Amino acid sequence: MAVWTIEVRSLCTAENLTSQCDKLTTMPTTDQTLDEVLSLAAAHFKVARDKLAPDDDFFKTLGIDSLQALDLLTRLENHFRIELPDYELQGVSDFRTLASRIQARR
């Protein structure tokens, strides 16, 4: 019984609890999500990351067609482990709005 008490106390130090709380409450910001979207698009479509800006029209910048748009949607869903219904992307053409749609599903 004495050993058990010591172990519980050691787990409940202020430092330990703060660390656990940090892990539970850390949520990527929209800017972080946007950065990941830009990096993923740059890597997959073989475009320099610094050539992509948040408000770019990704259809024009990446020169993608409808099949590639689906491919991008699937890569984003797989990367962020989310489900993003196609109709939520209708009319979305810039990276910033795309990132906000993703953020809403994380």
Partner 1 sequence: MKTYQGQTLSWGANNGVIELELHRDPANEIGSLTLEELEKFAASLKELAEHNHALILHSSLKSGFSAGADLRELFERSQQMEKNAAARGVREFLERIHGVLNAIDEAPITTIAAVHGVTFGGGFELALVCDLIVADRMARFCFPELRLGLIPGFGGIPRLKRDLGNAVVRDLLLTGRSFNTTKAQQVGLVSQVVGEGESLRAARATASQVTKFDRETAATAKKFIKPIPREELKREIDIFCDLFAKPAVEAGLRKFVESTDALPYLP
Nearer to partner 1, 23 or 46 (CB): 46
Supply the minimum distance, in Å, between the C-beta of residue 39 and partner 1. Answer: 18
- Tell me: does residue 94 bind partner 1 (CB under 8 A): no
Take residue 60 and report the two structure tokens written for it.
């024009």
What phi, psi does 96 have (nearest 5°)? -65, -45
Helix, strand and coil content of the chain, in percent to the nearest 5, comes to 70, 0, 30
Q: Which residues bind partner 1 (CB under 8 A)?
A: 59, 64-67, 69-71, 73-75, 77-78, 83, 85-87, 89-90, 93
